[in-house]
Every structure is written in C-alpha cells, then in structure tokens.
C-alpha cells in the first residue's frame, strides 16, 4: 500500500519535463519540425479559449495547439511568436486519475503528440483515424 502522506501533485515544471521527454522521443522525421514549438503549462485554459471552443467544463481540455499549421505557413507570414503546445495541468491530472490505467508520462506524451499533429496540419478526424486514445 502506498503511503500518501507528504505526496504532492506534480507541478507545472514536472508536467513540462514530461512534455520535453515526449518531444525528445519523437521519430527523426518529426523531431526537426517540432523543435521550434514552445511548450507551456497552465492550470486551466483561459475562459476566452474555452468559450471560443464551446467547452463548458474547463476539465474537458487537456491541451491545445496555438499556431499556424505547417501546411498553412507561408514565407510572407509575419511571425507573432512561436507556435505553442499548451498543456493544462489540472485537467491532465484529473484525466490521469480517472483513467487509472496509464502513467502520467504516457498521458502527457499522448496529448503532446496529438497537439503536434495539429502543428503538422492534421485535423482531429485525421488523428482519430489512427489514434483511438479515448477507447
């Protein structure tokens, strides 16, 4: 039996470290294109983002790609900052606890990979055709 006394939930730095490990394990053909994507961790998605995505429960969004997919980028684009993969700590921890059958590293790695797929120009339907994670 685990002694839960003194244990704390992983903080933002721990989640970011797991995300960076997931990036480091990408296949070579994807790693180069992913190196310019920033990783950011927040407790929850901002209300305006949830409203835009029509998400009522902030625990329903574990990650988000914020940028212009590679398939849509142009040399004439004015860079406004790096593309970002956002990870939302509390929803991630909630999903991890609810699942009970994956490690936190596996869940964070999955979310990072899913959001990077958007960076590569994949839609949610494209991703779902090869990754049925929710099953």
Domain 12-68+82-130 belongs to what topology?
Zincin-like (3.30.2010)
> Can you name the residues that pair with 84 across neighbouring β-strands?
38, 66
Contacts of range 32-39, beta carbons closer than 8 Å, 24 or more positions apart? 33/70, 33/119, 33/120, 34/116, 34/119, 36/82, 36/83, 37/67, 37/82, 37/83, 37/84, 37/85, 37/116, 37/119, 38/82, 38/83, 38/84, 38/85, 39/84, 39/85, 39/87, 39/112
CA distance 64 to 81: 16
pTM of the model: 0.85
Residue 131 has what pLDDT? 63
Q: What is the pLDDT along the chain (135 residues), one digit of tens a residue?
A: 567 677 788 999 999 999 999 888 887 777 777 778 899 999 999 999 999 999 999 999 999 999 888 777 776 666 677 889 999 999 999 999 999 899 999 999 989 988 988 887 777 777 766 665 555
């Amino acid at each position: 039996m685990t002694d839960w006394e003194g244990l704390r939930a992983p903080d933002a730095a721990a989640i970011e470290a797991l995300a960076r490990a997931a990036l480091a394990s990408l296949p070579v053909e994807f790693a180069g294109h992913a190196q310019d994507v920033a990783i950011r961790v927040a407790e929850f998605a901002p209300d305006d983002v949830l409203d835009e995505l029509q998400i009522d429960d902030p625990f329903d969004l574990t990650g988000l790609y914020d940028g212009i997919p590679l398939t849509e980028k142009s040399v004439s684009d004015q860079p406004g900052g790096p593309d970002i993969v956002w990870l939302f700590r509390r929803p991630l921890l909630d999903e991890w606890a609810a699942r009970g059958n994956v490690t936190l590293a596996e869940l964070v790695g999955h979310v990072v990979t899913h959001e990077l797929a958007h960076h590569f120009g994949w839609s949610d339907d494209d991703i779902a055709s090869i990754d049925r994670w929710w099953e």
